[in-house]
Amino acid sequence: MVNRGLFEGYDTGSFYDEMFSAPGQPRPQYTKLFQKLATMAPGQFEERRKLADLSFLIQGITFTVYSDGRGTERLFPFDLIPRILPHSEWERIDKGLSQRVMALNLFLQDVYGQQCIFRDRKIPRSLVYSCPHFRREVIGVEVPRGIHTHICGIDLVRDSKTGEFCVLEDNVRTPSGVSYVLENRLVMTRTFPDAFQACEVLPVNHYPAELSRILRSLSPRGEAEAQIVLLTPGIYNSAYFEHSFLAQQMGIELVEGRDLIVDGGIVYMKTIRGLKRVDVIYRRVDDEFLDPLTFRADSILGVPGLMGAYRAGSVALANAVGNGVADDKAIYAFVPEFIRYYLGEEPVLRSVETHICAKPDDLAYVLGHLPELVVKAVGESGGYGMLIGPASDSKRIEQFRERIRANPRNYIAQPVIPLSRVPSYDSPDGCVAGRHVDLRPYCLYDGEKVTIVPGGLTRVALQRGSMVVNSSQGGGSKDTWVLRGED
């Protein structure tokens, strides 16, 4: 009789299970970890879990939620059982994502430049121009080295029906979460050093160095004297921990809008020795808050005159302004077409079938099938503005029907994807149960090639049955392991 320890009575359910191919049968990439975990008593596991939690708390690895109006710091729940990907599968993902990032970058170059894609009728001009995040202010602006999408976080899910990964969403504005990838790994190596020894896991900690290299290459004054800063909205932003973490890892200055000033088309920061020129801004402030003279006049997070300096090319911004047009959820449906049009290749990763409510035929279909569809607002992120048909009552469905009718351009609909599951520790019950996950790899583009740290952030819906993995909605995360060499 095999000792299953923690996994005794584990139910793989009707979903694709990342760890088990059949009850009690671990997949090859999980064999060694299974042996380690199965011999562990729940008490021992619980002890390590508490250690990991404490470590996150003391390090202040928290995010801020605003439910009580005061902004409370919370731990981003971390689950100790990693998601493991075999090397061959990762290679395919890496290839598919690289292709996608290049196509998105070419699309942005084109839309804010020559606009060949409209002439060739691959996408309706009206659909692009009506994107809430389309910025006509940057049409014709040439960005350094032609890079718009320096940092992308692309959300993948594994469809339980096919067992295949597909792209759920592109995030090419200011994607966050990469600090958790790095911190999760650090905590895991401290909590389960033995498991790392047994499995050969590809490292992830070169991310800051690679990002730093790319930022440096954008400097209008050359790399030697490049002054690079990370612009944060401040400590009350939900991702503030990540901002300070990345600034520290890259050894660059973490600044707020009030630390910067524009004079004569040049951006400076205020130091104890007077003003110092800034060349590259890794900005974690959204487009509309960047410059009160160009965008929202009430923004105190930005820097007056920043867009002028950006247009004049005296300062570089990463990511570029206006990227939101590429991760709009209606534009998403056209990305496979972009890959064919700009690269002359077939997409490696499948996209989810998407109905664009702006199209009359699609609209009719969506309104007729609301209870079985997922409806999303095109410009939203973080799991807000969403309807999950099968999990909603008729009142909420009718609400959405009204909203869609009132503003079809603002909505798309997709079939429900049954997400794969990974065994996760359920601490109130003290047992391990299957929980749904997605995967967000972080892609860095230097103008020639795309670098992706192996793995990424596996987000997990810790509530039983839930498929919403966003941290703002009770999601947690896991370390993601890509194994070295042959599986």
Partner 1 sequence: MLSRIAESLFWLARYIERAEGTARILDVNYHMLLEQSQQSYRLRWEPLIIMAGEEDRFRKLYSEVNAENVFEFLAFREDNPSSIVQCISKARENARTIRDRISREMWEDINGLFYTVSRFVPAEEIAAGPHRFCDKIKFGGHRFHGVTDATLPHDEGWEFLRVGWALERAEMTARLVDVQYHNLLDGPPAADALDNHQWMAVLRSVGAYEAYHRQYHPPIEPQKVAEMLMLHPQHPHSIRFGATEVQAGLRAVSGTGPGSYANEAERLTGKVVERLRYDRIGDIFDQGLHGYLNDLLNMFGSIGDDIARTYFYYAVVA
Q: Which is nearer to partner 1, 234 or 383 (CB)?
A: 234
CA distances from 414 to 220, 362, 440, 460 (A): 43, 11, 19, 21
Using the structure block, give the residue that is written with the tokens 């099938």.
Answer: 369
Which pairing describes strands 72-75 and 62-65: parallel, antiparallel, or unpaired?
Answer: antiparallel
Q: Would you say 25 or 244 has its CB closer to partner 1?
A: 244
Question: CB 412 → partner 1: shortest distance, Å?
Answer: 38
8 A C-beta contact, residue 447 and residue 454: no
Q: Cβ distance 204 to 454 under 8 Å?
A: yes
Burial of 42 per CB tally in 10 Å (0-12, 13-18, 19+): middle
Radius of gyration of the chain (CA): 23
Rounded CA gap, 324 and 134, in Å?
6
> Which tokens sit at 109?
């170059």
Least Cβ distance, residue 268 to partner 1 (angstroms): 9
Q: Which is nearer to partner 1, 80 or 262 (CB)?
A: 262
Name the phi and psi angles at 323, rounded to 5.
-65, -20
In the complex with partner 1, the residue whose CB is nearer, 59 or 114, is 59
Nearer to partner 1, 59 or 162 (CB): 59
Query: Bridge-partner residues for 281, per DSSP?
Result: 229, 317
In the complex with partner 1, which residue's Cβ is closer, 269 or 388?
269
Q: For the chain, first and last CA: distance in Å?
A: 26
CB of 487 to partner 1, least distance (A): 36
Spacing of C-alpha 42 from chain mean position? 33
Question: Using CA atoms, how far apart are residues 254 and 256, in angstroms rounded to an integer?
Answer: 7
Nearest-angstrom CA–CA distance, 75 and 404:
35
Closest CB to partner 1 among residues 16, 56: 56
Q: Which is nearer to partner 1, 273 or 395 (CB)?
A: 273
With b for 16 or more beta-carbon neighbours within 10 A and e for fewer, the 325-342 pattern comes to: bbbbbbbbbbbbebbebb
Q: Measured from the CB of residue 244, what is the shortest distance to partner 1 in angstroms? A: 4
Cα atoms in the 13 Å half-sphere on the side-chain side of 87: 10
Between β-strands 280-283 and 316-318, what pairing exists: parallel, antiparallel or unpaired? parallel
Which chain residues interact with partner 1 by CB under 8 A?
57-60, 234-235, 240, 244-245, 247-248, 253-256, 258-259, 261-263, 269-275
Q: Which is nearer to partner 1, 270 or 369 (CB)?
A: 270
Cα dist. 231→88, 133, 178, 306 in Å?
38, 20, 16, 12
Q: From the CB of 146, what's the least distance to partner 1, in Å?
A: 30
Please say which residue, 29 or 237, places its beta carbon nearer to partner 1. 237
